[in-house]
Structure 1
């Protein structure tokens, strides 16, 4: 009898468990909550996939629910695509009977690939909506993307299936030479402000040709891509002063990831490389950011001096400017954040920098704002004379202990001088090269280890105001009349590339 009773109880347990409603769902009543009512996908180039964006959906009710449909309003024709809690649905466009437990949430990840023809012709916005359910229970989340038309420059594919290549320092790399008579793009040696340019691989400037960038030109480089100025070729960047924060007249070089997450990530593209023997370069109002090395100058033709003026270089994984035995006249240059050095002049050369701000707030312990050397490992001969390295009315600063480094080889000339500069060098050194107060041959009117009080280093705003120790400490003899953004300097001028009157709003 006892055995029958146990079996009876066991049977009841099975019966009740089979009737549990813990995992039963009710149809959604249209009371879902969302992490945002509009998902703005950052600007994308036509037919180039966007980044992935997230929407979180919440079930705040006490019931487990089933959402009959989650779909894009434009259905299978939409240029957006989604995954819903890891499910791909019908081509990432339509999802049926999606379960969402009580007090739980699910993730929707959204991407797009659209053409300029898909966008609204007046504002170039491509829009759609994610629809949850329909009828009286319909809820919607907006999707908005700005589509940019662009000129795409890239290596062609050869008949054998391999990509076109060019030779850089003896090595073949994916690349192509710009063509002034291209059948599709016309003159590829002239970059205008009509459309942005997107470069894949290295765009080469052929021998005896000049590439010109007009004011307002925008160039976006894909990963491992860059610009290569070949032997006897020239680079002319003709930017101009801008009147707004949009830098409408600057020439801008940056990576092709337009999502805000990538705004300040170093190393997204390679470099602008000046080959040995290249010549007649002029750079004015260039903003360059997020490269491995910004300007990589490899012993150009020393019969001509490279003019670099009113130029900003930020967030480079290795160097802002790396110059090898170059001749450079630099005015109103600002460099910040570089893994090795903001400015590195190696293997000799001839350099004059006036009203420049070389700062390096890279998070490390061995980086410099300025590095000077008259030698280079593996070079033949191993040393080259540093004919001159003069810094007038400059700021050389950063987050490291010492932001100024001299790597002198006594087998070649090493001539340098700093006049009216603010300099960070905190170590107590007996080295005769670093006697900033007593060595008048190399150092005159040095402000040592005083914080210049930049406006916002993390945002690359290296402006100063009247409370800065660099205020009105410049020498009138070296003054450049206008600062990097076109503000008039007063006498005595401030140190660095910015006049204090131009403090940002």
Structure 2
């Protein structure tokens, strides 16, 4: 059984083993695909690439491997199609067979520069095979329900503007192009989305960005123009490096869930204007064979050194405000927030009614003007199951439950999933509202 694959592109390789359970050798007269050369499938039988192999000997109690690949031709329709065949075995005139089943999805291929003022619709998924570019005089509009898949090392690069507005029921998906279940939570399958300096008025609403290197790379250092983006109901998950990596840019983010990144969930650097409301930033990096994370979930600095022999980049962070947000994770020293300050430059920041994982909370008193009614939490004390099921709904005993600043919550009365924040005892801190019956 093969998971959904893109037409003309091919699939992962599946395999099966053929056993001889007897104490004497067995001669298999033939192994072949039933549809022979007209089949969409391809065989490699014991190291021989052919759709039919004859006279195979298997030694007593031994076995051999058969590897199977599939390529599906486009059908010109919007719905997935199913392709079937079988591997036929003949041993001592006795027939046996193994069924092969694969689903394919037709798609629209994207390579290189996107035409001016393009609209991507939800009729078919898009496959970005190398890179997609939106130049400085162009815009890309993406309709609700659109799925955009990226091949290895591909990305979306924006100098102009991108407007991706999904709905709670029909979100916009940005994923890698490996659709097999085994790849569903593997990072670094594609590069990510880059908003270059001068890229203005970008909007992402009800969008899921998953399994890339950097989810959103915004701006750059040493450029005259900044980039900016508005994020509403956005999930950014499983990034090899960072969820959001912003330099000299502007962000307004609401109801965002940013989780499981190899270095930083959110990094805000050098200068800019940043605002996060009712967002959950939870970096439970599960390693995936990569090294253990030692960097904080949130890193904010008005200074950046790119190389030992180069001059530091410094700038003014006019605003870095977090309201009704969760900042937590599984870093070893329990500090998931780190601020790096150049005292010669502006560094305005504020955390209001936030739940923050810190080893020490002296700053809540010594810098009370920057931490308004914030709470310290311990790791693993806030979500249902952040490790195995990646479930970032609030636990029933979570410190974030019913404790949000109500005035701020009234500005954003529904959560990431469209649920009312005011149906129980009070709005919750973070992007996801745990709805329970009101206490009498």
> How far does the alpha carbon of each residue in 1:454-482 deviate from its partner, in whole angstroms, 9 at most, with x for none?
22323332111322121111110110211
2:114 corresponding residue in structure 1 = 178
Q: Does 1:295 align with 2:216?
A: yes
In structure 2, relative to structure 1, the CA distance for the partners of 1:207 and 1:470 (3 Å cut) is same
2:176 corresponding residue in structure 1 = 255
Bigger relative contact order (CA 8 A; separation at least 6): 2
Q: What is the correspondence of 1:112-131 to structure 2 with a 5 Å cutoff?
A: 112-117=70-75, 124-131=81-88
2:284 corresponding residue in structure 1 = 361
1:75 corresponding residue in structure 2 = 36
The structure with the greater share of residues assigned to strand is 2
Give the distance between the partners of 1:221 and 1:303, measured in 2 at CA. 26
> How far does the alpha carbon of each residue in 1:313-349 deviate from its partner, in whole angstroms, 9 at most, with x for none?
1111111001112221110111111122000010121
Segments of structure 2 that go 5 or more residues without pairing to the other structure are none
Q: TM-score, normalised by structure 2?
A: 0.89
The structure with the greater share of residues assigned to helix is 1
Contact 1:475 1:492 in 2 (8 A): no
1:240 corresponding residue in structure 2 = 167
Contact 1:324 1:349 in 2 (8 A): yes
Give the distance between the partners of 1:122 and 1:200, measured in 2 at CA. 21
Give the distance between the partners of 1:485 and 1:135, measured in 2 at CA. 60
Aligned length: 418
SS in 1 for 2:435: helix
SS in 2 for 1:488: coil
In structure 2, relative to structure 1, the CA distance for the partners of 1:122 and 1:461 (3 Å cut) is closer
Contact 1:269 1:291 in 2 (8 A): yes
Give the distance between the partners of 1:438 and 1:41, measured in 2 at CA. 58
Contact 1:452 1:470 in 2 (8 A): no
1:45 corresponding residue in structure 2 = 6
The structure that has the greater radius of gyration is: 1
In structure 2, relative to structure 1, the CA distance for the partners of 1:147 and 1:343 (3 Å cut) is same
Q: Does 1:370 align with 2:334?
A: no
1:109 corresponding residue in structure 2 = 67
Residue of structure 2 aligned with 1:318, choices 232, 237, 241: 241
RMSD after superposition: 2.3
Contact 1:190 1:211 in 2 (8 A): yes
1:471 corresponding residue in structure 2 = 401
Contact 1:289 1:316 in 2 (8 A): yes
Q: Does 1:275 align with 2:275?
A: no
Give the distance between the partners of 1:346 and 1:474, measured in 2 at CA. 27
Give the distance between the partners of 1:492 and 1:301, measured in 2 at CA. 44
Q: Does 1:484 align with 2:413?
A: no
Q: Does 1:496 align with 2:419?
A: no
1:285 corresponding residue in structure 2 = 206
Worse-matched range after superposition: 488-497 or 372-381 = 372-381
Q: Does 1:382 align with 2:313?
A: yes
2:358 corresponding residue in structure 1 = 425
